[in-house]
Structure 1
Amino acid sequence: MYSKTIVLAAISALFATQAIGASINVNARSVSVEERAALIAADPVAACNCPGNCKHKNGDSCKFYENGNTLSGQCVTDGDHLKCVA
């Protein structure tokens, strides 16, 4: 009697996990709020220079915070460093 219950519970658990797994798109990478916030620099100079954005070049897109707003722009040469100009 208990063996039928155990088999039924195992089959139910298998079907439940299959249904949950099917509803999740494993190919799409979900980005958390913290990860998105980490991608935006604190100021225009940090948006285009090291340590976080060492590979930026003149003309690359950039984002930075200013007065609580997120501004998008392009990196331009400003003296000996790059600066994000919105």
Structure 2
Amino acid sequence: MQFKTALLSLTTLLLATGTMAAAVPEAGQGVSARATLIAPDPTSACNCPKNCSHHAGSSCKFYRNGNVITGVCNDVGGHLICQD
């Protein structure tokens, strides 16, 4: 009886370890650190929470149709928007 319990525990441990290891992306397949610095849209590129220090005239970057657009923050109707 104890042998079956030990075998079951060992099997469970091995399966759980394999599952946890599979959740980690392999080297070179993750998102690069620089890619996370580019905003998903023109409004987020110049405003909080990630870009609270931006002001009119600050440089900015955002994604549009899969391309990285570089622009400048402009005050449009009281809101900063990144425009190329």
Do Structure 1 and Structure 2 share a fold, with TM-score over 0.5? yes
Q: What SS does the aligned partner of 2:44 have?
A: coil
SS state at 2:54 partner: coil
The yes-or-no answer on 1:41 pairing with 2:39 is yes
Q: Which amino acid aligns with 1:49?
A: N
- Number of the residue aligned with 1:5: none
**Structure 1: where are the runs of 5+ without partners?**
1-31
Runs of 4+ in 1 over 6 A off after TM superposition: none
Aligned length: 55
* Structure 1 residue 34 displacement after superposition: 2.4
Match of 2:80 in 1: 82
| Paired position in structure 1 for 2:7 | none
The alignment's C-alpha RMSD in Å is: 1.4
Output the CA distance in 1 between the equivalents of 2:73 and 2:31.
Answer: 24
Q: Distance in 2 between matches of 1:75 and 1:39?
A: 16
Q: Which residue of 2 aligns with 1:15?
A: none
Q: TM-score, normalised by structure 1?
A: 0.60
State the shift of 1:37 in Å: 1.0
- Report the AA paired with residue 38 of structure 1: T
**Residue 51 (structure 1) aligned with residue 16 (structure 2):** no
Q: Any residues of structure 2 matched to 1:8-23 within 5 Å, and which?
A: none
